[in-house]
Structure 1
Amino acid sequence: MIDSTFDVAVIGGGVIGTAVAYHAAKRGLSVGLFDKGPLAGGSSGAALGFRTLSNFFPLEVALKNDERFIRFTEETGEDIELDTGGRINVAESEDDLRYMHDSVAALRAKGVDIRMLDRAEMREREPNLSPRMVGASWTPIGGNAMPIKLTYGLGRAARQLGARIFTHTAVTAIHVAGGRVRSIEAGGRKFSSGWVVNAAGAWAAAIAKLVDIDIPVVPRKGQLLLLDCPRRIVRHSLSSWHKPGPQPTGGTSIRSTPHGQILCGSSSEYVGFDITATEENARDVASRCAAFVPALRGLQITRTWAGLRPRAVDGNFIIGAADALDNFLIATGHDFTGISHSLITGELIAELIADGRTSVSIESFSPRRFARDFSSKVKTPARNLL
């Protein structure tokens, strides 16, 4: 017996799933969102919250990402601790600095507001940055948002538009007939839906298996630290900038919060679904962040935790329909850029459902690309983020 009927059933209550629910509800579609735990109970609740400019999308689209976050807060009144103060990217070696110079020059040629900082400007903008850092660039693009507040804000906004949210309600079956998904089972109840969106993050492969679809997305574990910091030691969002290629760590990222704390990250491991925060990773992250900003040494670590980033084997997003079922959409593979790309992903999925097409090409993100022969080994993406 059918409990309820929706235009769209979204599986996954993280920042991607709630963004899909919000934008679909804005289009006037009836939406049900399902998660096996609370909202932000997975990757989104363990994220750092950086918002970056990337070349996953055309530049003219990526440059409007700040506007999406500002518009969301203005339209909904949600406080997501939005920081639009830009970021400083830091080079730790001469090789990285040469790569940064070339990248900044290429971006400036395309009209991106970014520039190199000389040592005097580095010290002026970030007085506590280590003099061992060999160079840096500055861009006013990007900033931060509090991942849990963003996820819950999107959920509340979706509810106000009529969406129903079912937390602690695991999806256990997806029923297919005539080449289309017809219904799902969740929490012992059955729901029919015209579309199903798999936004289950690191668990998206398991959801896809319910309809016999294989998507090569794996969990990448990252560990973060939270430090008590009574004075503003770090003024901007700071990130290491490396040449493309395998990195032994998850890169170094540091940002202040509005609450007298500093977030530091992160590690990078492929250890399945283990989210144990280890002393070894905590020491490594603390050491790397203190090398960036020596004034962090001696600050008390109040909390450390780990989360799982959903990473596709080729390092690209997975957005769109699988060949087998055109009303079963997938939105995952965002790895460490889920916060940055949450709102645009929600928009694109809503467009695909409501309009039958997207305003931006998503062909490169299509799940259909995995029909080709990809190695099962996770690859380092060629794309670089600001």
Structure 2
Amino acid sequence: MSRHLDIDVAIVGGGLVGSSAALALRNMGFDVALLDKGFCGAQASGVNYGGVRRQGRPREQLPLSQRAHAVWPRLKELIGIDGEFLRSGHLKLARSEADMASLEAYAAEVADQGLDLELIGHNGLRERFPWIDGSILGASLCAGDGHANPRLVSAGFASAARRAGVHVLENTPVAGITRNGEGFALEAGTGTTLTAAIVINSAGAWADRFAADFGEPVPLTRIYPSMIVTEPLPPVMTVNIGIEGGGIYARQVERGNCVVGGERALPLADPDFSRPRGDGALAIMNRTAEVFPALRHAQAIRFWSGTEAAMPDRNPVIGFSGTTPGLIHAFGFTGAGFQIAPGVGEVLAELVRDGRTSTPIEAFSISRFSRPATSRPDQHRTSHGSGADQPPEPHNRGAHS
């Protein structure tokens, strides 16, 4: 059966970025379609670790991270559930003098960004967090950070968008997007066609194909983070844990299970999918037991992995296309997109409505990967010579004043 939708905005990719943008746009009055090749939130957005942290991000991400920070306490009113969000604090551990010096340098660098970081020495760490191994030299605490359940939050935004009137089209892979007059024509699923004035490319690990179709190739690679959850344990971890230099991240949920990560899974023959490595899972649990003695005899009851998009500079691509009016990109969060995604959704909605955003995103322009062009995008797509910092005219069709 064929169907056709004529809408204001088509969003390709139903992860947390796409679904939060869809909800924000619908609340502004736009007619929106959210398309996913599988189920919304089933890829990186729904299988990640669940850390809701600002600490440790590059300085250029912090304004966006702070914007998202204001959204998380409002999840209940925004999507109808709290997503098990807990403002537990995020504690980043230093295993060496060099690691501690790195934490101190970061705290100084971002002192004006509102993170309110607290540096804790060895003795203070032992007094306040006695469940951490005594060999840890010190830490940095961001008390306002926390963690949440990605499976609930990602699906929750998509469900809220559907209730608000967004056309949520799951199991509807987008086969092609072409420039069509003043807008775009999309072919998706079996017999589904759409026309839209604006397209948002938030297709995660699959976004590079759509960018390349419009003359904007990017050096996107795929990573496959791997997670483990333990049996329920008595309360141990009171904060979300990270380690300077990597190796382990861990948190404990209210029912007692501990979620830990720090290794990569193996891609399968179809690189859309992956499987946890047995040696990787063992390595994570051994490292976790060294740092948190209370977990030395914990039973691991479940393992999983997911597919995420990574960029070489670890910054995402967010903003207008440099070749095609009406095309907006939002992808490549390199394993750190969960916390900032609700803020990205608001930014994308502002770009559609106003042609600009109040949050600085210049560092995330896709033009940073561009090379001198040898040819224009193909004749089926309209192109122009403006850069990504020169957006098309604001799109106000259907928007509330």
TM-score by shorter chain over 0.5: yes
Task: Indicate if the aligned counterparts of 1:174 and 1:211 stay in contact, CA closer than 8 A.
Answer: no
- 3-state secondary structure, aligned to 1:104: helix
Secondary structure of the residue that 1:215 maps to in structure 2? coil
Q: How does 1:99-138 map to 2 (within 5 A)?
A: 99-108=102-111, 112-138=115-141
Checking the alignment, whether the CA contact within 8 Å between 1:219 and 1:273 is kept in structure 2 is no
Within 2, Cα distance between the matches of 1:60 and 1:42? 26
In structure 2, do the counterparts of structure 1 residues 304 and 229 end up closer, same or farther at CA, with 3 Å as the change threshold?
Answer: same
- Which residue of the other structure, out of 78, 81, 84, is the alignment partner of 1:78? 81
Deviates more, 1:217-226 or 1:186-195: 186-195
The alignment partner of 2:19 has SS state of: helix
Amino acid corresponding to residue 17 of structure 1 in structure 2: G
Letter in 2 for 1:116: L
- Hey, what does 2:310 align to over in structure 1? 311
Q: CA deviation at 1:61?
A: 5.2
Task: Give SS of 1:48's match.
Answer: coil
CA distance in 2, matches of 1:335, 1:111: 23
Give, in whole Å, the separation in 2 of the partners of 1:219 and 1:179. Answer: 33
Structural mapping, 1:115-264, within 5 Å: 115-178=118-181, 180-211=183-214, 213-242=216-245, 251-264=247-260
Q: What per-residue deviation string (whole Å, max 9, x for no partner) do you get for residues 220-262 of structure 1?
A: 11111101132012111110013xxxxxxx5310001122200
- The answer to whether 1:36 aligns with 2:55 is no
Are the aligned partners of 1:181 and 1:325 in contact in 2 as well (CA < 8 Å)? no
Pairwise CA distance, 1:152: 1.3
Question: What letter corresponds to residue 154 of structure 1 in structure 2?
Answer: F
Counterpart of 1:296 in structure 2 is 295
Q: Which amino acid is the alignment partner of residue 39 of structure 1? A: C
**AA aligned opposite 1:38:** F
For residues 57 and 28 of structure 1, do their structure 2 counterparts lie closer, same or farther at Cα, with a shift above 3 Å needed?
Answer: farther
Q: CA RMSD in A?
A: 2.2
Equivalent-residue separation in structure 1 for 2:112 and 2:32 (angstroms): 43
Measure how far apart 1:66 and its partner are: 2.4
Residues matched between the structures, number: 366
Single out whichever of 186-195 and 105-114 deviates more from structure 2. 105-114
Change (3 A) 1:56 1:173: farther
Distance 2:12 2:137 in 1: 45
In structure 2, what is the equivalent of residue 282 of structure 1?
281
Residues 155 and 192 (structure 1), Cα distance of their counterparts in 2 relative to 1, 3 Å cut: same
Q: By how many angstroms is 1:143 displaced?
A: 0.6
Q: Is the 8 A contact 2:64 2:340 kept in 1?
A: no
Q: TM-score, normalised by structure 1?
A: 0.88
Q: Aligned to 1:148, what secondary structure does the other structure show?
A: helix
Contact 1:179–1:325 (Cα < 8 Å) also in 2: no
1:6 to 2:7 alignment:
yes
Deviation at 1:372, TM superposition (A): 3.7
Q: Secondary structure at the match of 1:254?
A: strand
SS of residue in 2 equivalent to 1:266: strand
Match for 2:279: what amino acid? E
**By how many angstroms is 1:367 displaced?**
1.0
The one-letter code matched in structure 2 to 1:276 is: R
Matched, 1:18 2:19: yes
Is the alpha carbon distance of 1:328 and 1:141 closer, same or farther for their aligned partners in structure 2, counting shifts above 3 Å?
same
User: Does 2:349 match 1:353?
Assistant: no
Q: Secondary structure at the match of 2:307?
A: strand
Q: What TM-score, normalized to structure 2? A: 0.85
| Correspondence for 1:379 | none
User: Are residues 48 and 14 of structure 1, via their aligned partners in 2, closer, same or farther at CA, if it must alter by over 3 Å?
Assistant: same
Any gaps of 5 or more consecutive residues in structure 1?
243-249, 374-386
1:141 Cα shift?
A: 2.2
**Runs ≥4 residues deviating over 6 A:** none
